[in-house]
């Protein structure tokens, strides 16, 4: 019982003992005053619902994503002031809003305040501008109500986890020399040998197909002869190895050029899309930390429909914090790629530090190709070419934001 | 921050009314106990004294720090005005009896205290100060109440009535001032104007309900009429309404005055009357006019009012359009009242009697097994959904039950017809199992 309540009760009791109704009145008023001043901090957060609805959990850089904030005061007591601190990863851009500083490291607060009547529901429509690549996580939400007659407040935190992944741009890939394939050799449309263990579906029967290749059940079901189709013994596998270190020096320095990091991500996404569209099995290897956990990324080469999404998601989650040196990544390639596969390295740094590793990969039977980017791209490409290694220059003109294509040149 | 009449005016007025009401209780106690007179001043007069100080301080005419002597003189003057409200004090002063005059209306000097308190209200009303006023002020009224009730009748009755009304006014005005000041602070923090914040309606209703909840029984206990509660409540509300009327009527009066001047300047005035004043005419019109004489004037007045009406329509339409545009601009927010779903079921309540379930009595091996299952069901040894009879029997770990399960499996799944002896043995096993059930359960625990 608070001091005010004691005073109020005391006045009422004294009033009753002295038969002084005036004191009873004052005691009652004091008790009620105290009750009224702390009413909201005691009961304000009861039956208050807060929901956050994202229009989509994936977006591409430049998109706008709808964000609905839905709050409902499900009780008779009106709320003069309800504040919601919706914590989100710093850098999230909400139209017409700025994230307020918060006490959680690396997170800002999307603040919304309302005044709600009894059983009033308010849905606020906001728009998130995907201005930065990344994985933006939401939650927890801190709801605060304030008393009307005092400065007392009451807060509670609710877990409302959600994530918005902003993927990098992916652009068409063009070659300065149209006759040349974007990367490596042109793909052969047919394969001489098939792997009978890799069933890849059926196709209409063609004259000359061996009888054992007929799919009898499917033929019976379709009422026309169909033959089994198999994957080639060696499909074209390409592994994109991304060097996200943009500043020369030890990898642990955590210095980076933001523009170049973004440019590399855009280039990687563009190359992956092109390779997958051309039918190659594309994978990715990178030694950068991922938001949400993970020190490096490895996606095995695949041709499946979801592979591009996985690569884009991984690129979205990548942070410019290098967890493993690039040379170590190249050393790990033979364990992760079938011999004969293509290793496409992508970076802005001087390649002389890892040229030896590329040569070794070549000797192990891998095709290697380096895509040099950044201001010294031409110089770096020439250096590797002189060493007998395939290298090309990747350009995003004028920058990764406004470029209409990733141009590859010798 | 710039003081705005529209946002801070009501808060200031309510705070001044609360100050006046609190001092009115003290004044009533001083009057009936020390002066042994009926109270002459009330909440309104003391609030006016505080408001005068607030206004002078607001205008910069009164500054206790810069011009202390002026301030002191003004305070004494305010006290003197309060004192001289009493006709007896004025008479004695006119007669040159200063000491006697002072003793005539001692409570009047509390106007000086009201004046002092008003100085602080001339500037922005701090929500914490407003809360403190009402929180400390309410129990603080105990002293004047005790003192006032010690007085003899009929002064005691007068005191109780005035103090009761003033106390209710103090609490209601004080809470409203504190609430509105808090809403103002919230508005400054969140960028929301409290006038657009409908919770002030809730505040008003809440305060009224609270004062009613205490006031009505208290009025009954004090033997006062219920209308005294209404007077206590309407103290601040009446002030606010009067203020609102003043805001509306003052510009209208000013416009009307300007129009009159303009019309008189144009020479539009009624001609001399056609006939003399008619004695006993309705409404006491002193002169009579022919219709022909006033036709022009009436036409002008009609045209004037049509013009006013058109102007009002144009202003209203413009205002509505602007409001609609503003609503469109803020269409990013949907507000609606959403009542929780409650299901009301109409119909006669169903009385559920406990089912009298006779214990199933098995008559063959299959029913013996099922009866055994029924026996085990309430305990942890009951058969689980994903359990086969065999695994269940293994878990139970009783040989008799295992044999029952085997009989059941043979009869139901194996399609084997069991012999009469086998059925009898199964029934015997069920009986023994039933007798041993407590020991099985205790072993399971």
DSSP string, A71-109: EEE-SSS-EEEEEEEEEEETT-EETT--PEE-SSTTEEE
pLDDT over 50 (residue B1): no
Nearest CA in chain A to B140: A26
| pLDDT, chain A, mean | 87
Quick one: A23 and A159 in the same domain? no
Q: Do B198 and A117 touch (CB under 8 A)?
A: yes
| pLDDT, chain B, mean | 78
Region for residue B19 given its phi and psi (left: phi exceeds 0; alpha: psi -120 to 50; beta: otherwise): alpha
Please name the residues in contact with A316: beta carbons below 8 A apart, sequence gap of 6 or more. A133, A134, A135, A165, A166, A167, A168
Task: Give the orientation angle of helix B227-265 with respect to helix B199-222, to 10 degrees.
Answer: 130
Q: The whole model's pTM is what? A: 0.64
A150 neighbourhood in chain B, CB within 8 Å = 128, 131, 178, 182
pLDDT over 80 (residue B213): no
pLDDT over 80 (residue B51): yes
Nearest CA in chain A to B129: A150
Quick one: A353 and A390 in the same domain? yes
Q: Quickly state the pLDDT bin for B255 (edges 50, 70, 90).
A: confident
Q: Is B37 on the interface with A (CB under 8 A)?
A: no
pLDDT over 80 (residue A176): no
pLDDT over 70 (residue B353): no
Quick one: A98 and A221 in the same domain? no
B105-163 pLDDT per residue, tens:
888 888 888 888 888 777 777 778 888 888 888 888 888 888 888 787 788 888 888 88
Quick one: A207 and A113 in the same domain? no
Token representation of residue A405? 């294509």
Quick one: A226 and A342 in the same domain? no
Quick one: A226 and A248 in the same domain? no
Average pLDDT over residues A222-238: 81
Q: How far apart are CA B61 and CA A63, in angstroms?
A: 60
- Please give the C-alpha separations between residue B262 and each of A30, B255, B265, B295, in angstroms, as whole numbers: 58, 10, 5, 20
User: Are A319 and A297 contacting, i.e. CB atoms less than 8 angstroms apart?
Assistant: no
Q: How far apart are CA B57 and CA B119, in angstroms?
A: 6
Average pLDDT over residues B211-238: 71
Q: How far apart are CA A367 and CA A357, in angstroms?
A: 12
User: Are B236 and B169 contacting, i.e. CB atoms less than 8 angstroms apart?
Assistant: yes
Please name the residues in contact with B204: beta carbons below 8 A apart, sequence gap of 6 or more. B176
pLDDT over 70 (residue B275): no
Distance from CA of A151 to the nearest CA of B (A): 7
Return the percentage of chain A with pLDDT > 70, whole number: 95
Q: Is B336 on the interface with A (CB under 8 A)?
A: yes
Return the percentage of chain B with pLDDT > 90, whole number: 1
Interface test with B, best of A25, A68, A150 (most B CBs within 10 A): A25
Q: Do A25 and B135 touch (CB under 8 A)?
A: no
A262-272 pLDDT per residue, tens:
999 999 999 99
- Exposure of A64 by Cβ count < 10 A (0-12 exposed, 13-18 middle, 19+ buried)? middle
Distance from CA of B163 to the nearest CA of A (A): 9
Q: How far apart are CA A209 and CA A217, in angstroms?
A: 16
Quick one: A119 and A179 in the same domain? no
Q: Do A32 and B149 touch (CB under 8 A)?
A: no
Q: How far apart are CA B169 and CA A117, in angstroms?
A: 26
Q: Is B175 on the interface with A (CB under 8 A)?
A: yes
Quick one: A280 and A374 in the same domain? yes
pLDDT over 80 (residue B391): yes
Quick one: A219 and A243 in the same domain? no
Question: A401 or B247: whose pLDDT is higher?
Answer: A401
Q: Is B275 on the interface with A (CB under 8 A)?
A: no
pLDDT over 90 (residue B279): no
User: Are B174 and B18 contacting, i.e. CB atoms less than 8 angstroms apart?
Assistant: yes
Token representation of residue B2? 């710039």
pLDDT over 80 (residue B87): yes
B215 neighbourhood in chain A, CB within 8 Å = 25
Q: How far apart are CA A121 and CA B338, in angstroms?
A: 6
Distance from CA of A347 to the nearest CA of B (A): 44
**pLDDT at site A187:** 47
Average pLDDT over residues B40-67: 84
Distance from CA of B224 to the nearest CA of A (A): 11
Number of domains in chain A: 4
3-state SS string for B398-423: CHHHHHHHHHHHHHHHCCCCCCHHHH
**How long a stretch of residues is chain A?**
410
Q: Do A113 and B192 touch (CB under 8 A)?
A: yes
Interface test with B, best of A51, A115, A145 (most B CBs within 10 A): A115
**pLDDT at site A37:** 78
- Please give the C-alpha separations between residue B116 and each of B11, B75, B79, B132, in angstroms, as whole numbers: 18, 7, 10, 17
**How long a stretch of residues is chain B?**
445
Question: B125 or B217: whose pLDDT is higher?
Answer: B217
Query: What residues does A344 pair with on adjacent strands?
Result: A240, A369
Q: Quickly state the pLDDT bin for A241 (edges 50, 70, 90).
A: very high
Choose among B391, B13, B427, B361: nearest CA to B181: B13
Token representation of residue A334? 């033979």
B183 neighbourhood in chain A, CB within 8 Å = 80-81, 148
**pLDDT at site A407:** 92
Average pLDDT over residues A103-126: 88
pLDDT over 70 (residue B190): no
Quick one: A162 and A303 in the same domain? no
Q: Quickly state the pLDDT bin for B251 (edges 50, 70, 90).
A: confident
**H or E segment to which residue A296 belongs:** none
pLDDT over 60 (residue B3): no
Quick one: A391 and A259 in the same domain? yes
User: Are A251 and A355 contacting, i.e. CB atoms less than 8 angstroms apart?
Assistant: no
Quick one: A27 and A117 in the same domain? no
Q: What is the CATH number of the domain that holds A86?
A: 2.60.40.10
A256-307 pLDDT per residue, tens:
899 999 999 999 999 999 998 888 889 999 999 888 788 889 999 988 888 9
Alpha-helical segments (H) within B31-121? 43-59, 68-83, 87-94, 98-104, 110-120
SS3 (DSSP) at B225:
coil
Average pLDDT over residues A23-28: 82
**pLDDT at site A383:** 93
- The string of DSSP codes covering B273-288 is -SBPPPTT-GGG-SSB
Of the candidates A29, A120, A151, the beta carbon closest to that of B138 is on A29
Average pLDDT over residues A34-52: 88
Size of interface A-B (CB pairs under 8 A): 143
SS3 (DSSP) at A367:
strand
pLDDT over 50 (residue A315): yes
State the residue range of the domain holding A26.
Answer: 3-37
A3 neighbourhood in chain B, CB within 8 Å = none
């Amino acid at each position: 019982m608070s001091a005010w309540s004691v005073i109020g009760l005391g006045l009422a009791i004294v009033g009753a003992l002295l038969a002084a109704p005036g004191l009873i009145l004052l005691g009652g008023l004091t008790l009620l005053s105290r009750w009224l001043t702390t009413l909201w901090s005691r009961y304000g957060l009861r039956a208050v619902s807060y929901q956050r609805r994202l229009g989509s959990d994936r977006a591409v850089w430049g998109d706008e994503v709808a964000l609905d904030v839905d709050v409902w005061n499900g009780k008779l007591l009106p709320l003069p002031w309800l504040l919601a601190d919706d914590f989100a990863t710093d850098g999230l851009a909400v139209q017409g809003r700025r994230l307020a500083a918060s006490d959680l490291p690396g997170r800002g607060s999307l603040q919304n305040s309302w005044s709600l009547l009894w059983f009033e529901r308010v849905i606020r429509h906001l728009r998130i501008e995907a201005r930065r690549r990344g994985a933006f996580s939401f939650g927890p939400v801190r709801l605060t109500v304030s008393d009307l007659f005092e400065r007392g407040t009451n807060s509670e935190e609710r877990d409302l986890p959600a994530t918005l992944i902003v993927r990098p741009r992916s652009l068409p890939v063009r070659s300065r020399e149209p006759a040349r394939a974007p990367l490596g050799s042109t793909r052969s449309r047919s394969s001489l040998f098939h792997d009978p263990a890799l069933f890849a579906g059926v196709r209409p029967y063609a004259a000359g197909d061996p009888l054992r290749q007929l799919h009898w059940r499917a033929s019976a079901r379709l009422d026309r002869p169909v033959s089994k189709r198999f994957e080639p013994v060696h499909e074209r596998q390409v592994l994109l190895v991304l060097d996200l270190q943009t500043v020369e020096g030890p990898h642990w320095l955590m210095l980076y050029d933001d523009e170049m990091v973004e440019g590399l991500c855009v280039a990687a996404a563009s190359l992956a899309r092109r390779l997958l569209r051309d039918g190659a099995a594309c994978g990715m290897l990178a030694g950068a930390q991922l938001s949400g956990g993970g020190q490096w990324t490895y996606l095995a080469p695949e041709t499946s429909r979801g592979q591009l999404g996985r690569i884009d998601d991984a690129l979205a989650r990548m942070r410019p914090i290098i967890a493993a040196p690039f040379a170590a990544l190249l050393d790990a390639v033979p364990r992760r790629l079938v011999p004969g596969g293509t290793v496409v390295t992508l970076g802005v740094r001087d390649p002389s530090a890892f040229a030896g590793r590329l040569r070794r990969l070549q000797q192990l039977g891998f095709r290697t190709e380096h895509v040099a980017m950044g201001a010294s791209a031409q110089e770096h490409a020439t250096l590797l070419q002189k060493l007998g290694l395939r290298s090309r220059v990747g350009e995003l003109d004028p920058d990764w934001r406004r470029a209409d294509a990733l141009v590859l040149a010798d | 921050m710039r003081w705005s009449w529209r946002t801070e005016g009501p808060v200031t007025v309510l705070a001044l009314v609360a100050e006046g009401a609190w001092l009115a209780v003290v004044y009533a106690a001083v009057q009936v106990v020390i002066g042994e007179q009926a109270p002459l001043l009330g909440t309104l007069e003391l609030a006016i004294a505080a408001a005068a100080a607030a206004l002078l301080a607001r205008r910069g005419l009164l500054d206790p720090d810069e011009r202390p002597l002026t301030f002191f003189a003004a305070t004494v003057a305010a006290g003197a005005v309060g004192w001289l409200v009493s006709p007896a004090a004025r008479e004695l002063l006119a007669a040159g009896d200063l000491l006697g005059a002072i003793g005539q209306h001692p409570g009047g000097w509390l106007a000086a205290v009201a004046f002092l308190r008003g100085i602080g209200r001339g500037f922005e009303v701090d929500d914490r100060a407003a809360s403190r006023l009402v929180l400390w002020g309410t129990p603080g009224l105990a002293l004047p109440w005790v003192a006032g009730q010690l007085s003899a009748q009929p002064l005691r009755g007068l005191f109780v009535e005035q103090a009761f009304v003033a106390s209710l006014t103090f609490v209601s005005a004080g809470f409203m001032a504190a609430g509105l000041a808090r809403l103002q602070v919230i508005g400054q923090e969140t960028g929301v104007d409290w006038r657009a914040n409908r919770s002030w309606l809730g505040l008003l209703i809440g305060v009224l309900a609270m004062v009613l909840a205490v006031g009505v029984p208290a009025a009954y206990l004090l033997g006062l009429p219920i209308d005294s509660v209404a007077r206590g409540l309407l103290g601040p509300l009446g002030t606010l309404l009067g203020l609102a009327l003043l805001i509306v009527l003052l510009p209208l009066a000013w416009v009307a005055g300007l129009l009159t001047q303009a019309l008189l300047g144009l020479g539009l005035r009624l001609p001399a009357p056609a006939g003399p004043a008619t004695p006993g005419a309705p409404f006491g019109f002193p002169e009579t006019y022919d219709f022909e004489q006033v036709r022009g004037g009436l036409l002008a007045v009609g045209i004037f009012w049509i013009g006013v009406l058109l102007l009002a329509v144009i202003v209203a339409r413009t205002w509505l359009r602007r409001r609609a545009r503003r609503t469109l601009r803020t269409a990013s927010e949907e507000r609606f009242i959403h009542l929780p779903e409650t299901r009301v079921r109409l119909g006669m309540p169903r009385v559920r009697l406990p089912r009298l379930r006779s214990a199933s009595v098995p008559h063959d091996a299959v029913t013996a097994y099922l009866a055994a299952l029924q026996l085990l069901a309430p305990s942890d040894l009951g058969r689980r959904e994903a359990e086969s009879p065999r695994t269940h029997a293994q878990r139970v770990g009783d040989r008799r039950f295992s044999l029952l399960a085997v009989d059941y499996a043979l009869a139901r799944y194996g399609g084997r017809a069991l012999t009469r002896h086998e059925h009898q043995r199964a029934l015997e096993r069920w009986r023994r199992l039933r007798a041993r059930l407590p020991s099985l359960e205790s072993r399971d625990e």
